[in-house]
Structure 1
Amino acid sequence: MSYEPPRPVRGLLLTPEDKEAPARVHRLRRLGLADRPEPALDAFAGRLARLSGVPYAMVNFVGEDHQFFAGLSAPALAPFVREDGTAAVLGRTLPRDHGFCPHVVVRRKALVLEDVRDYPRFAGNPVVDEYGIHSYLGAPLIDSSGMALGTVCAADTAPRAWGKAGLDTIKALAADLVVRLERSAQDGLPL
């Protein structure tokens, strides 16, 4: 007889209530960052992926009912193959209840998950089964008005010890990016 560890209970993850979402969407539009890919943010995500040595890195803006990856670095040529043999390729949008970024935005704090399966609250998240995400590191993009616009995050398909250096790096990158986003909007210049 073989032992199979119990699978996480679907639906255990509760996406936190986000009362700032309507104001955030308005602020993102004013900054010119509403639901469109931004090549400079793709380059930023690519740099973060290389720095972190991960397959996934994103600049994610969280709306009322979905998340939008304005910056995305993902393995398009080598999609994650699910247990049933089908392939998953990460696109630019996810429902708000997928992933970990909505938690970072509402908490307004960085989140480090070395192995998401170790946390009952996060183990049942759809991105674990859909894309094989097993570790996550994200920091909020908090603008000068104090609003959390979204996140900068990195994710891996294997457990990973991010350490203090990883946490410090993601927080510094998030702070630097917010300055660039606001300066670009203020000066009317591209990122």
Structure 2
Amino acid sequence: MTEDFAADVAAIGSIPIMPTVLDTVCRLSGMRFAAVARVTEDRWIACAIRDEIAFGLAPGGELPIESTLCHEVRLATTRVVIDDVVAHPVYCSHHTPATYGFRSYISVPVRRADGSVFGTLCAIDPEPRRLDVPEIVGMFEMFADLIGQHLAALERTVASEATLLDAQRVAALREQFIAVLGHDLRNPLAAIDGGMRLLRKTPLDDQALRLITLVQASVGRMSGLIDNLVDFARCRLGDGLLLEREHVEIETLLRQIASELQVDRPDRIVDIACRLDAPVTCDRRRMAQLVSNLLGNALTHGAANRPVRVSAWAEGGWFELSVANAGEPIPPGMLPGLFQPFVRGPQGPRGEGLGLGLYIAQQIAEAHGGIIEATSTPAETRFTLRMPLPE
């Protein structure tokens, strides 16, 4: 038996009601051998068997296709019913009854979802049986349809699983590519940044200094995009974000990030207010990345003539950080999926970003045991980080 037909035998064997179907058709018809067979142009293969006459066939066993009547059922795609072959005008001299020693026979086609014939539900008995009546024929056809429906459901499940597996493989390759790409982009970016630092040490006019400042600001943004790409791939590939916790002066960190982001936005105002009695225990680099993503998002999408307000405070064992900006509110329909990867809000004047900033920020928050929530009204759009403080 080939691999393909082994799968067909296994498919029929996996149908939970199969033993009950064969038992029922035998009991109600009086037949003592029943089978579901896979029938092709040149093969007859037993998939499920109920045998009370010691016929000697088991699932996976074969009969020569030319020795069966199921071949004719497959070709005609209709049933064959014989109460007593001796009295039957067509099959009384047929070689099949003589070969297998039966006098009564019934076979109905089992069809796939597309209408093609998978095989048959058939039964034989050495004695004559009253089969050609609506009750018996209807029962066999009903069970044949039921088997076909189970096969169709199984095929849909297998197809869905194959599609899902393919999608998972493609996603894994894509994320591995992103990780490698992000890693390989760091070297030329570091070279550009190093070159700009060396140029700053040479005598330059004001225009050249401004150009260097713009290039370094672009390098900073590119570095942030690469960090987001690599972190996205790391999260999706299952490695997660690793934390190195330490005591961090949050206000100092906030002012440093704001200064860096204002290099190429000198006209933007960032108001920072903190109410912290002690350093916050967290991962300094990751917290800086979170703040940079939230603040950069606010500067990009917020009203250019209004300040961005950053607040941080700690009380009751919790740390909270909020970033708020004025401007057009986020459409309500976008809020539920705002932290999903590659989701981008209404574009600011630059139209920059990959749509990963908020996703990475949320992953950093979750790695710290916290969460980021977003609210947006005509008055302001606010992102708030809330996370527990280690005792």
Tell me by how many angstroms 1:57 deviates: 0.4
* 2:113 alignment partner in structure 1: 144
After superposition, where does 1:1-191 map in structure 2 within 5 Å?
A: 29=4, 32-33=7-8, 38=13, 40=15, 43=19, 44-75=21-52, 78-79=53-54, 89-91=56-58, 92-119=61-88, 121-162=90-131, 163-188=133-158
Amino acid in the other structure paired with 2:13: E
In 1, Cα distance between the equivalents of 2:119 and 2:50? Answer: 16
How does the TM-score come out when normalised to structure 1?
Answer: 0.67
In 1, Cα distance between the equivalents of 2:146 and 2:40? Answer: 22
**Same amino acid, percent of matched pairs:** 22
Structure 2 residues without counterparts, runs of 5 or longer: 161-391
Amino acid in the other structure paired with 1:69: A
1:181–1:114: structure 2 CA closer, same or farther, 3 Å change rule? same
1:100–1:112: structure 2 CA closer, same or farther, 3 Å change rule? same
In 1, Cα distance between the equivalents of 2:12 and 2:62? Answer: 10
Amino acid in the other structure paired with 2:56: V
* 2:178 alignment partner in structure 1: none
Say if 2:37 and 2:45, in contact at 8 Å, map to a contact too.
yes
Tell me by how many angstroms 1:37 deviates: 7.4
Tell me by how many angstroms 1:187 deviates: 1.6
Amino acid in the other structure paired with 1:38: G
In 2, Cα distance between the equivalents of 1:109 and 1:133? Answer: 21
SS in 1 for 2:66: coil
SS in 2 for 1:54: coil
1:37–1:140: structure 2 CA closer, same or farther, 3 Å change rule? closer
Amino acid in the other structure paired with 2:150: R
Tell me by how many angstroms 1:120 deviates: 5.6
Q: How many residues align?
A: 152
Say if 1:90 and 1:131, in contact at 8 Å, map to a contact too.
no
In 2, Cα distance between the equivalents of 1:135 and 1:29? Answer: 32
Say if 1:37 and 1:69, in contact at 8 Å, map to a contact too.
no
Higher radius of gyration, 1 or 2: 2
In 1, Cα distance between the equivalents of 2:5 and 2:99? Answer: 33
Q: Which has the higher helix share?
A: 2
Amino acid in the other structure paired with 2:142: A
For each residue in 1:142-187, what CA deviation from the matched residue of structure 2 results, as whole angstroms up to 9, or x when unmatched? 2221211111112211111111111111111111110011102222
Aligned structure 1 segments of 4 or more residues deviating by more than 3 angstroms:
28-32, 34-37, 39-42, 123-127
In 1, Cα distance between the equivalents of 2:146 and 2:42? Answer: 27
